[in-house]
Amino acid sequence: MPVKRVFPEIALLFVFIIGLFGETAFAGYRPELSGDLEIGDRYYTEITLEEFTPDEEDYISSEDLLDYYYYTKFWLRYRQQLSRDDYYYIKGQYYEKEYENKTGYNNQSIDLWGNYTYRLTEKARNRWEVNLRNKEYYNNESSSYNLLRIKYQFFYKHDDQQTYTAYYQRQWQDYIIKTLKDNICDRVSLSLDYKLNQRCDLNSSIQFDRELFEKGSASSNKYGKKFKIGFKLKL
């Protein structure tokens, strides 16, 4: 599958970035650099019954600590407006989780995103997104994988009331050791946002999914579809 050695080829992405940097001198727009550092933890507890009261309707309980993990997440994004009609950004992220007890869940992941959005007409826009991920489990290498996701979106604003969105996404997930877990996921979605009046907005979408595994895999192929409709009303 195409992501077995995707990260050694990340250099190709940076070649593309450098090519875009060359255009900034002519664009007249200043680039934007943003980032974020987040450090935290999460605890998992279990409520246990200690003692019934005489009426056996109320009881005293306590919480036992099952596990906890702490994490560090850092991301950096470079955004460049090229003209009134198009822009791109490149974003990188590092995310690490360390468990106290379930050390098999300890992992780190590195993500790279690329986004290029451009306007076709006053009513229509295109967007391309690429995501590369390398996720490594320190004590459970069979769960480590590389991922490549490509997404294309099309936006069309018919008028002040109706906006249509369509996208197609394909994802390749390749496991470093357990190659029979390799899979390809496809997703197609169509949605409509409709402004009924100044106080009420309606939204609807239909989505189709499929997940295909390698031949001989213990996992079965999966197919699905869903439809949803929602609203926002100003009271």
Quick one: pLDDT at residue 2? 46
**Which residues form the domain of 189?**
7-34+71-233
Residue 163 lies in a domain: yes
For residue 213, the domain's CATH number is: 2.40.170.20
Show pLDDT as tens, one digit a residue, over the chain (235 residues): 444 544 555 545 555 555 555 554 445 788 999 999 999 998 877 655 555 444 555 544 455 667 888 999 999 999 999 998 999 999 999 999 999 888 888 999 999 999 999 999 999 999 999 999 999 998 999 999 999 999 999 999 999 999 999 999 999 999 999 888 999 999 999 999 999 999 999 999 999 999 999 887 888 999 999 999 999 999 9
Query: Roughly how many angstroms between the first and final C-alpha of the chain, as a whole number?
Result: 52
Provide the sign of the torsion angle of the four alpha carbons 205, 89, 109, 151, taken in this order.
positive
Quick one: pLDDT at residue 26? 47
Quick one: pLDDT at residue 50? 53
Residue 57 lies in a domain: no
Quick one: pLDDT at residue 10? 52
Residue 1 lies in a domain: no
Residue 54 lies in a domain: no
Judge contact between 70 and 40, C-beta under 8 A: yes
Name the pairing type of β-strands 32-52 and 145-157.
Answer: unpaired
Quick one: pLDDT at residue 47? 58
The amino acid sitting at 101 is N
Residue 39 lies in a domain: no
Quick one: pLDDT at residue 96? 95
Residue 221 lies in a domain: yes
- DSSP strands (E only) in the chain: 32-52, 59-81, 86-99, 107-119, 124-137, 145-157, 162-175, 183-195, 200-213, 222-233
Quick one: pLDDT at residue 61? 47
Judge contact between 189 and 170, C-beta under 8 A: no
Number of domains in the chain: 1
Quick one: pLDDT at residue 186? 97
Give the H/E segment covering residue 11. Answer: helix 10-27
Residue 222 lies in a domain: yes
What's the whole-model pTM score?
A: 0.79
Residue 40 lies in a domain: no
Under 8 Å CB-to-CB from 57, ≥6 apart: which residues? none
